[in-house]
Amino acid sequence: MRHQVRGRHLGRSSDHRQALFKNLITELFRHGQIETTEAKAKAIRADAEHLITIAKRGRSGRIDEVHARRLLRSRLNDPDIVAVIYDEFAARYADRPGGYTRIFKMGQRKGDGADMAMLELVE
């Protein structure tokens, strides 16, 4: 039974999984979209949207700006991306209450038949 088991493990140890999620989310914000497996896209979608919400709260004054930036920095691999999220994405989605990402299913990968998807930030 899976009672009270949260998240997707993706067949990895917790350290490997956390590093994978950090890398995928960082690249999503760097490029605006990433192509990955459907399971990975669904696993990081909520985390990526939560980072934008943290940045929005920091800009609006609901939480301290320094605290918001430190939270973003702890969940990303590149400190330059923190500034991009805080300045660009938080301003872009200021009036949007949620749903900052979109998943497009792209069919199966040729090599192993994994279901592929494109995760992108909504304009």
Q: Count CB neighbours of 79 within 10 A.
A: 10
pLDDT tens figures, 36-73? 999 999 999 999 999 999 999 999 999 999 999 999 99
Could you give the number of structural domains in the chain? 1
In a domain, 8, yes or no: no
pTM of the entire predicted model? 0.92
CATH number for the domain spanning 96: value is 3.90.1030.10
**Is 4 a domain residue?**
no
Sequential DSSP letters for 74-110:
HT-S-HHHHHHIIIIIHHHTTT--S--EEEEEEEE-T
* pLDDT tens digit sequence for 6-36: 888 999 999 999 999 999 999 999 999 999 9
**Per-residue tokens: 115:** 């279901």
Domain extent at residue 30: 14-121
Contact (Cβ atoms closer than 8 angstroms) between residue 82 and residue 116? no
Looking at the domain assignment, is residue 48 inside a domain?
Answer: yes
